[in-house]
């Protein structure tokens, strides 16, 4: 019986496969350290050079609704510009004189569909000097900090079939992962879930080049498009909904965008298959500090000069201790600006070279003979008076 359970007499089952175990000697280890260092350090320098070649400006406008001076009139118009604190501006231009200023202006929340509501908000006006021409492609991002899209409950809070366009029943939505944003007022929330409900709702208007030289118009607008900002694989996940208007309602935090917080024939639910900014938001970030693409221009050069960007200020970040920023950036052949990878390669290369030098000096000063039996543990114990019994 025991013989039946005996493994076959093969090299694999009897553990007789040929093997090779390298012997780590100074002649093999020391060159390895130097080779890794010589390769990694220049490669890190190349990555760092590519990162530094990216032109970028980042302006934190979190407190743009509070810090700029109040407009001179009671209606909140005629804004007064003030210098933006240097600690909320980050740029990678050789000329750091951006002359960045901001102001706030009171605007009525766009509600042409519901004129009886008169909610007013602050719009943020940001002016900055662009010291160089930005060659296409040029990208506009928004950046959020301390926003944990990677929370387990948040990440899974959506219904894939609903996003695809299927008319998922209320019972199925309630049984899914969209709670507590699943059903309200006996209507299905579309799109359901926490991710959709917390959609970034600040609006960036296209930058305006003030007093553009060589142009017939006094000001010149630089156009950013939302077409093509979502990953092709993400676009396949969305479709036009098959729900009827009377079956669904907007997410609770979208209520201000629709009359009385409901969809109507004049203001129907969004076509998620075409709303690429929504698709970008739904791809959750893995870290609490992240940026997401708002628009891009792949054809036109963004001319140097003084620009003004108007931002509809709605997304509340101070409630959870976060910040929000406007980012305008170019790319290199390796992608966007990210110096971490370059410095990581340089650090590893330098460490390997330093360790290689130290081990080389140690080997030259006090070499150790390969296979010296005096270093065996029992020989050392014998030299110290024998083993303890």
Q: Please, which residues have CB within 8 angstroms of residue 164's CB and are 6 or more apart in sequence?
A: 237, 238, 239
The helix or strand, by DSSP H or E, that contains position 90, with its residue range, turns out to be: strand 89-91
Q: Note the Cα 173 to chain centre separation in Å.
A: 29
pTM here?
Answer: 0.82
Report pLDDT for 17: 84
Q: Please, which residues have CB within 8 angstroms of residue 39's CB and are 6 or more apart in sequence?
A: 349
DSSP 225: B
Report pLDDT for 384: 55
Give the separation between CA 340 and CA 323, rounded to whole angstroms.
22
pLDDT, mean of each 10-residue run, the chain (389 residues): 73 82 85 95 94 92 88 67 93 82 82 56 92 94 97 95 95 94 93 96 95 68 95 94 94 85 89 96 96 96 94 93 96 86 96 95 84 71 53
Report pLDDT for 109: 67
Report pLDDT for 334: 82
Q: How many CA atoms lie within 13 A of 41 on its CB side?
A: 12
**Is 189 in contact with 178 (CB distance < 8 Å)?**
yes
The helix or strand, by DSSP H or E, that contains position 103, with its residue range, turns out to be: strand 101-108
What does the radius of gyration of the chain's CA atoms come to, in whole angstroms?
Answer: 31
Structure-token match 């950036």, residue found: 329
């Amino acid at each position: 019986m025991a013989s039946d359970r005996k493994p076959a007499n093969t090299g694999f089952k009897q553990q007789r496969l040929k093997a090779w175990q390298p012997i780590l000697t100074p002649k093999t280890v020391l060159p390895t350290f130097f080779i890794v260092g010589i390769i990694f350090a220049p490669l890190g320098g190349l990555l760092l050079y590519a990162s530094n070649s990216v032109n970028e400006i980042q302006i934190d406008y979190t407190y743009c609704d509070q810090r700029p001076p109040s407009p001179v009139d009671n209606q909140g118009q005629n804004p007064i510009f003030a210098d933006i604190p240097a600690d909320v501006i980050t740029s990678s231009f050789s000329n750091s004189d951006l002359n960045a200023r901001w102001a706030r202006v009171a605007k009525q929340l766009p509600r042409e569909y519901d004129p009886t509501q008169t909610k007013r908000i602050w719009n943020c006006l940001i002016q900055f000097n662009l010291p160089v021409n930005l060659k296409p492609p040029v990208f506009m991002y928004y950046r959020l900090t301390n926003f944990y899209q990677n929370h387990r409950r948040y990440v899974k809070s959506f219904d894939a079939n609903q996003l695809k366009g299927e008319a998922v029943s209320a019972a199925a939505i309630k049984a899914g992962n969209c709670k507590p944003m699943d059903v309200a007022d006996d209507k299905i929330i579309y799109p359901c879930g926490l991710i959709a409900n917390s959609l970034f709702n600040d609006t960036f208007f296209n930058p305006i080049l003030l007093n553009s030289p060589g142009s017939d118009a006094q000001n010149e607008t630089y156009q950013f498009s939302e077409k093509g900002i979502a990953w092709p694989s993400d676009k396949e996940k969305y479709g036009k909904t098959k729900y009827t208007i009377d079956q669904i309602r907007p997410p609770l935090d979208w209520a201000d965008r629709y009359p009385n917080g409901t969809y109507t024939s004049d203001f129907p639910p969004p076509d998620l298959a075409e709303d690429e900014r929504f698709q970008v938001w739904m791809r959750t970030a893995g870290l609490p500090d992240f940026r997401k693409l708002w628009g891009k221009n792949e054809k036109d050069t963004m001319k140097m000069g003084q620009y003004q960007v108007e931002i509809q200020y709605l997304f509340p970040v101070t409630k959870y201790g976060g910040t929000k920023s406007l980012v305008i950036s170019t790319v290199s052949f390796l992608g966007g600006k990210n110096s971490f990878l370059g410095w990581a390669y340089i650090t590893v290369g330098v460490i390997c070279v330093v360790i290689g030098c130290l081990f080389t000096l140690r080997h030259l000063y006090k070499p150790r003979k390969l296979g010296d039996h005096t270093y065996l543990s029992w020989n050392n114990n014998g030299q110290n008076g024998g083993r303890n019994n």
